[in-house]
Amino acid sequence: MKVLSVASELYPLIKTGGLADVAGALPLALVAHAIETKTLIPGYPAVMKAIKKPKKVHQFDNLLGEHVTLLEVKHDGLDILVLDCPALYERSGGPYVDGNARDYPDNWKRFAVLSKAGAEIAAGVLPGFEPDLVHVHDWQGALTPVYMRYAEAPEKPSLMTIHNIAFQGQFFAELFPYLELPPHAYNEALEYYGTLSYLKSGLVTAHAVSTVSPSYAEEILTHEFGMGLEGLIAGRSDNLYGIVNGIDVEVWNPASDDLLASNYSATTLKKRPANKAALVKRFGLDTDDGPLFCVISRLTWQKGLDLLNEIVDEFVESGARLAILGSGDSAIEASLQAAASRHRGRVGMVLGYDEKLSHLMQAGADVILVPSRFEPCGLTQLYALRYGCIPLVARTGGLADTVIDANEAAISAGVATGIQFAPVTADALRRAIRRTIRLYEDQKLWSQMQKQGMKSDVSWDRSAALYADLYQRLVSKGQ
């Protein structure tokens, strides 16, 4: 089967979030299912710089008024199609925002062009490549199924994956004529309370919609999580799927990770504490036998990290220590920094993004705290499972789907891998921390949970099989 993937990010070339990981990892994992994927991305400066000897494969003379060259290149095992259009993509900021974190004013066009190019490739403009299915990601790729719906070419099966429904790509309705769609497409697909919503248009036109965990797929049907699109999603519930992301189990392997102080596996857990000692030193924490909790996260309301401030004094009284790595909301940053200065030796903080340190933290901490208010999939808890760091997570989205709570039944069945709590309030978090500390006191049970977590399959293999199966169903239905 041949698949065209349309994405605005692709690991390892350009990444701001989990979408890049999925777009980069899934094609590689699908090879085993005889699925050949080409991924279409914009030619941002970082992409143009990284690719070597791309081949010009097509020239679009007028894509919404732009002259766009289509390049093809192999990179790290991925087959990539790049839209070379400096007028749209050669910008000094990130993929979506300028250096002052402001959206580029022409984002509506930058991603409509990406989507339209996707639809043209689906229709066969690229010699020798007739995709059987088109898989688009988030609002940036969401117009592809719309352009496919209104094109003259026969419509190919399409799947749209929502990585985070909070981002919807909403623009002024006045821009509609510039999208070069027939007038009736406005009401049929794009109109959303008097504006254009790209995500909505993908939701109503893609043959199937998926999100990155089964629980999040259910949650977005509700008012609380649907961000206004719950009604429309309910209308698609027959074709709504949830497939959890995997992680790169080569990069994240405690047995071979050279960023650790000491490598270990589920059978050599005795070697793990050397990492805890290194971590304690790195964060300037006291040395004792108590549990060490960590946070590795964007410090935002979504991640629930404002709650830490409310409980941190009591947390310290319980004898536990906390190492925080993150940055984000300035009020949360300030409150946690204040907690670190108030509780020297008990709470340590590194402000910023540090991929290397995050590996040592997963290997050294006893517990990772993930109190997210919503979490489409989440990656940190998956790394934690693989590294024997017990995840303490909010019972939401992908966190609920990937961590098995240590309740009585799960403990006696030997299947527990972490701790879940709900609702996301300071009180419930406080209780969950107390429960975790009690579990930690039973070191035999604790190491059993660690081993159980380390056995969990967090690789892409299982998820790729589910995507392959879904692709197959969509292609068969389309015939």
Compute the distance between CA of residue 427 and CA of residue 434 in angstroms, rounded to an integer. Answer: 11
Which residues does residue 68 pair with via DSSP β-bridges, in sequence order?
A: 60
For the bound state, the minimum distance from the C-beta of residue 18 to ligand ADP, rounded and expressed in Å, comes to 4
Q: CB 127: neighbour CB atoms within 10 A? A: 8
From the list 8, 37, 144, 358, which residue makes contact with ligand ADP (rule: CB under 6 A)? 358
Compute the distance between CA of residue 376 and CA of residue 131 in angstroms, rounded to an integer. Answer: 28
How is the beta sheet containing 292-299 ordered, strand by strand? 347-351, 321-328, 292-299, 367-370, 390-394, 419-421
For the bound state, the minimum distance from the C-beta of residue 464 to ligand ADP, rounded and expressed in Å, comes to 18
Site size toward ligand ADP (CB under 6 A) is 16
Q: CB 438: neighbour CB atoms within 10 A? A: 9
Compute the distance between CA of residue 377 and CA of residue 22 in angstroms, rounded to an integer. Answer: 11
From the list 130, 355, 441, 442, which residue makes contact with ligand ADP (rule: CB under 6 A)? 355
> Pairing relation of β-strands 390-394 and 367-370?
parallel
Q: State yes or no: residue 211 binds ligand ADP (CB under 6 A).
A: no
Of the pair 155, 333, the CB lying nearest ligand ADP is at 333
Q: How far is residue 467 from each of residues 133, 303, 437, measured CA to CA in Å?
A: 12, 28, 39
Scan residues 370-389 and list those touching ligand ADP (CB under 6 A).
377-380
DSSP 174: G
Q: State yes or no: residue 17 binds ligand ADP (CB under 6 A).
A: yes
Of the pair 9, 66, the CB lying nearest ligand ADP is at 9
From the list 15, 298, 435, 473, which residue makes contact with ligand ADP (rule: CB under 6 A)? 298
Q: State yes or no: residue 291 binds ligand ADP (CB under 6 A).
A: no
Of the pair 176, 467, the CB lying nearest ligand ADP is at 467
From the list 36, 155, 333, 354, which residue makes contact with ligand ADP (rule: CB under 6 A)? 354
DSSP 10: B
Q: State yes or no: residue 296 binds ligand ADP (CB under 6 A).
A: yes
Q: At what angle do helices 107-122 and 198-205 cross, to 10 degrees?
A: 20
Q: State yes or no: residue 162 binds ligand ADP (CB under 6 A).
A: no
Of the pair 201, 245, the CB lying nearest ligand ADP is at 245
Q: 143 near 201, Cβ under 8 Å? A: yes
Of the pair 15, 435, the CB lying nearest ligand ADP is at 15
For the bound state, the minimum distance from the C-beta of residue 95 to ligand ADP, rounded and expressed in Å, comes to 14
For the bound state, the minimum distance from the C-beta of residue 377 to ligand ADP, rounded and expressed in Å, comes to 6
Counting every residue written for the chain, the total comes to 479
Print the binding letters for residues 441-460 with ligand ADP: x by CB under 6 A, - otherwise: --------------------
Helix extents (H) in 150-197: 184-185
* Residue ranges in contact with ligand ADP by CB under 6 A: 17-18, 296-298, 325-327, 353-355, 358, 377-380
